[in-house]
Amino acid sequence: MNQQTPVGKAPEKKRDRALYARLIESYQADRISIFVDFDRLNAPRSPVWSPWENIGPLLIILGGSLALMFFVHLMVGTGAMLLGVLFYLFVMRPWIAQRVYRRAIDAATENLHNWNLLWKIGGLVITLNYMNKTRCVAPDGDWRAFVTRYLPEMELEGVEAYNAFKRMEKPETEDKEAQRLKDLNM
């Protein structure tokens, strides 16, 4: 039997690759931001999850505090466990979040397959940098429609709007200095 690929599949993949390339180009040009949902991606079904980052510190805290309870004193071990939990909450969790964020961004910007995988899990959010309220949230949002709708405009005529927005962010002192120089040249 001769199996043929559906007619719609090849153009769809080619279109997806083109949209993904435009997305990554916009990310690298700082036109969009990609945010990571730590709670969704720091789970066992996520490809960027590391069990030893999550379980290892807790095992060390538990083992150390139990050893102190048995070999030193019950109160010393209990105090060590309390301090260990605080250390985990305020030091280890932010460190884990930063590592998951970095792994997720690296994986998502590496290739289309990784992007689609992380998008299906629901761990990514795309936001336009010049309009923070314009965003596309995974997995319910359609990143292809977002790229089609917003990024071509930025590449063609939206660049002027983006640059005008960036100029508005400059401090007044720079504008006054530029006006002063302009007045001197007249």
Evaluated on CA atoms 7, 12, 13, 17, the torsion sign reads positive
Confidence of residue 98 (pLDDT cuts 50, 70, 90): very high
pLDDT tens across 8-46, in order? 455 568 888 888 888 888 888 888 888 988 888 888 888
In a domain, 173, yes or no: yes
In a domain, 16, yes or no: no
Per-residue pLDDT, averaged over 99-104, amounts to: 91
User: What is the pTM (predicted TM-score) of this model?
Assistant: 0.67
Q: Is 118 helix (H, G, I), strand (E, B) or coil?
A: helix
In a domain, 50, yes or no: yes
50-83 as b/e, with b when 16 or more CB fall inside 10 Å?
Answer: eeeebeebeeebeeebeebbeeeeeeebeebbee
C-alpha angle 63-65-67 in degrees, rounded to nearest 5: 70
In a domain, 79, yes or no: yes
Domain count, the chain: 1
Expressed as residue numbers, the domain containing 62 is: 26-185
In a domain, 41, yes or no: yes
In a domain, 171, yes or no: yes
